[in-house]
Structure 1
Amino acid sequence: MSLRVFSALPIPDEVADIVDPLLDGVPGANWRPRENFHITLSYYGELEIPAVEELDHELARIEMAPFELALKGANHFGKDEPTALWLGVEAPSALADLAAKTRRVAARLGIAVEKRNYLPHLTVAYIDPGEIDLVKLKRFEQQWNLLETPPFIADRFYLYSSHQRRKGPNDYQVEAEYPLFHRRMA
């Protein structure tokens, strides 16, 4: 048996409460439900259960202090043919450090991860290429480009599994939780 897994930061309810009502007005956008909101750290792909267990064990060894971040601005992937609409993340270098640590864990275990540079974001919609209204997409981005949520604390990250449904968005399930904490000095 195998699971499709990724590590990510959860979005707190108070931030999801701000984002969720914004998701409208772009024909061709398949909006993500709030229960799928997350900031991906690393995508590991389809792994056999023993590899997932080994990954879980190693991710649990990551030591980092909690840090503050916020959602800021809007944009899309796929320059002339948009594929996804997202909200940006304003964060200290700690977020990039955490993502790098999760990737290094995977590399040590022989798990391939994406090679592209890390761009923290919250995907809010996937886009049907033939149905997108570029004018309305740009209007959405302009309207929400000034968005900045109140800061929130990243005090944990999760290992999620992704399960495809026949219709609608994937179902994400938490497989493991990893608290971030200040290391005590002896």
Structure 2
Amino acid sequence: MIRLFAALPVPDAIIDRLEPLQTGLDGARWRERHHFHVTLAYFGDMKEPVAEMLDEEIGEIACPQLDLEIEGVGWFGRKEPHAVFATVKRSPELESLAQACRRISARMGLDKDDRPFKPHITLAYLSNTPLEAAMAWSERWQVLRAGPWTADRFHLFESIGRDGKKSLYDPVAEYPLGG
């Protein structure tokens, strides 16, 4: 079984702007720069033949290149924060790409992610972080703006768990945008 998700890569220049935010929050397990991405759809665990069909389906998505930018930060877990993130500005093209990936997932009967699409880059996962601390961190960095940058491709990533260590994200397929 392999665990897959579709995501946009984040360029080094943007990551360089995000790394200074990774401080001053108790209970934060900060993500390493090679983990930064913008998730489009989570597909879950599947056998390799299903992954091959998923790859074929995703390869048929036609979408223009996307101009992306960061505008502020936030946290997940309204009363009990479990992650902090940089907010990626919404655009119709970005929404369309995410919806195309999610439609394929639904059509194939893969894990259904019912949460609304919220474009973001996870900066840390949190453990026992008080709401007030997440709010203070968010307020400090809310002025962050980074970009724009052009996404000219997206990837199918495999999430590889490692016995209590941080997962590895291995790009197993690449899909060009535009063209």
TM-score normalised by L of structure 2 = 0.95
- Give 1:164's aligned residue: 161
Aligned-residue offset at 1:24: 0.6
CA contact (8 A) 1:36 1:172 kept: yes
Superposed displacement of residue 179, structure 1: 0.5
**Whole-Å separation in 2 of the counterparts to 1:108 and 1:95:** 20
The aligned residue for residue 21 of structure 1 is 20
**Where do residues 87-106 of structure 1 align in structure 2 (5 Å cutoff)?**
87-106=86-105
**What is the letter of the counterpart of residue 161 of structure 1?**
E
Larger-gyration structure (1/2): 1
* Alpha-carbon shift at residue 134 of structure 1 (Å): 3.9
What one-letter code is carried by the residue in structure 1 that aligns with 2:16? D
- Where in structure 2 are there 5+ consecutive unaligned residues? none
If the length of structure 1 is used for normalisation, what is the TM-score?
A: 0.92
> What is the aligned partner in structure 2 of residue 173 from structure 1?
170
One-letter amino acid matched to 1:139: A
Distance 1:83 1:136 in 2: 12
Alignment of 1:69-84 (within 5 A): 69-84=68-83
Structure 1 residue 133 displacement after superposition: 4.3
Contact kept, 8 Å, 2:80 with 2:131, in 1: the verdict is no
Structure 1 unaligned residues grouped into runs of 5+: none
Q: In the comparison of the two structures, how many residue pairs are matched?
A: 179
Q: Which amino acid aligns with 1:58?
A: E
1:137: Cα distance to partner? 2.4
Selected match of 2:145 from 124, 148, 155: 148
The separation in 1 between residues aligned to 2:102 and 2:34, in whole angstroms, is 24
Contact 2:71 2:145 in 1 (8 A): yes
Structure 1 runs, 4 residues or longer, greater than 4 Å off: none
1:91 CA drift (Å): 3.1
1:110 & 1:167 partners in 2: Cα distance? 29
Cα distance in 2 between the residues matched to 1:20 and 1:166? 26
CA deviation after TM superposition for structure 1 residue 166, in Å? 2.6
Cα RMSD for the two superposed structures: 1.2
Using the aligned pairs only, state the percent identity: 37
For 2:59, the equivalent position in structure 1 comes to 60
Residue 31 (structure 1) aligns with: 30
Q: Give, as a single letter, the amino acid of the residue that structure 1 aligns with 2:141.
A: W
